[in-house]
Every structure is written in structure tokens, then in C-alpha cells.
Amino acid sequence: MKFNQSPRWRWLRAKELIDKQLSPRRSRDDTYVRRAWRYLRRYRPDDPRIEEALATEYPDLHQAKCLFDDVAGSRWVFEAGVMAKQTVEFMAEYLNADSKVLETYENMFFDVRDALEHKGCIHANVLIPALVGGVRATDPDFMWKLVAYEGDWEAAKSVWEIGDISPVAMDFIVRTFREQVMKVARNAAFFTVPNNFNNVDLIGKGIDMLRLEAESDSLRGADQSEASISALLDAVTLSARKTTDRIEQVEPRRLPEASRIFDLKNAKVESAEKESKE
């Protein structure tokens, strides 16, 4: 996978040739593209006999395509393993799968291994396209890849064994991804030459960037604090008991009627004048 290229670029290239009714070129298309082209040229989704014939003639490619179409879990586990730099042989043993099928799948549908050292390429072509509907800890297409790539294989396995991502790990992952996005944004801003047409836009983007950086700094540690408070509350056991004490009733205080307010006021004034004369 190279710059601005999908992980399944070979499969997409073969489909493009089929749609355009063109043949592969040896100068441009490798063995995997040519095999995919021959497979897709005969493939009919509504004809089970042709599908059975293709499964016999192209067993590894057919099983790799079935793995890509299946969203049960094996696909996401294997792709996370590739993101964590695990070998095909290791993942075949882990998944109890045929190593040739996984090798075909990687070359046909998830060709990212050569680009793992280039974070910008991985973020742009693998993670950002998978980021749909926000960050969710249960999203295997985005979250499992991100955990395996930014963490390691053990971190990815802990997600599958626990069933969720701890708030501390989630905070680290989101912060790491945010910092990478900010780095790319800064580089793009620095390479933009200001002029009379883009000055206002650049100033606005600069203000947005400063605001995002300030929000990022204020949010750091928020998830850890929330996790600590939640753990503390979970450790406290509260019990409610019925009290036997009774509160004595107090006689309500009554205010004078409105018609007597002025009489009381006049009485107080006369009493004060009488005292002053004496």
C-alpha cells in the first residue's frame, strides 16, 4: 500500500478492469491482480455452480474472499494482528487457519504491512476511513486496529479477553490519535502560503487549532479520574434503614389578618408616644 491507496487496491484494480472490459497489463498488474481478474471475470453471485467451480480452481482466493465478506470476527482479528506486526504463520496458528489463505487475504484485501512504519499513510488510508460514527470501544474495524497499531499484540488480545477497553487505555488511544491528527494539521498549515484570499480562513483554522489544543490539555486525565471515582463508588456499600424516631409536630405560626395590620401598627405608635411623654 502506498500514498492515497486502499489496503485492497489489488482487488479494486481487478474489479475496475472488469467494469471497463479491459485486460490486465504485465507492466502494471502483478500476479495477484491477474488472478483476481480471472476469478471475477467468471464469478456470478447468483449461480452456485460457478461459485463451486471457482472454489475448486481458486481455493485460497475463494476462501480469502469469503473471509473478507464475513464480519463474524476472524477477519478483524487477523487484520489487527497484521497491524500489530504479527507474521502470517503466527496468525494462522492463532486462528487455526490455512497460512496460504491468510497470505492471499493480506495481499488481496489488507496490503498494509510495508506501510506500517509510515504512520501518516496508515492513519490516512486505514484508520480514518474506518472511523465512522465516532469512536466506539466495540467497533472492531477501527478500535481493534488502533489498539493493535498504537499499542501491541498483547493490548489487542486484552480487548478480546476482557470484552472492553479500560478508560485509561481509551484515554491513551484517543489522545494519541488526536495528537497525530494535530501534527498533520500543523504540517498542512505551515505549508500553506498566506495571501489576500485565504488569510481569514487561515486565521479561523488557527483559532480552531488553538481551541482544540486547549481542550485536549484540559481533557487529559479526565477518563482516569472518572475511572478512579467510579471504582471508589463501586467499593462503597450503602444501606437504607427505616428510622424509629419521630419528629415532634410544631404548631404552625399564624400571621395576623390583613385588616388588623394597620390597627397593630397604630397601637405600637401610640404606645411609643405614651412612653416618650412619661
Helices marked H in 131-254 — which ranges?
145-150, 153-162, 167-190, 199-219, 222-235
Q: What is the pLDDT of residue 184?
A: 60
Q: Please, what sign has the CA dihedral across residues 106, 107, 112, 113? A: positive
Q: Mean pLDDT, consecutive 10-residue segments, the chain of 278 residues?
A: 89 95 92 96 91 95 94 88 96 96 97 93 87 63 86 83 62 63 60 64 65 55 48 48 54 56 59 66
The backbone torsions φ and ψ at residue 33, rounded to the nearest 5 degrees and listed phi first, read -65, -40
pLDDT at position 159: 78
**Are residues 112 and 122 in contact, defined by beta-carbon separation less than 8 angstroms?**
yes
Give the pLDDT confidence score for residue 273 in this predicted structure: 67
Question: In this predicted structure, what is the pLDDT of residue 234?
Answer: 52
Q: pTM of the prediction?
A: 0.61
Its sign, for the CA torsion 70, 74, 76, 78, is: negative
DSSP codes, 214-240: HHHHHHTTHHHHHHHHHHHHHH-----
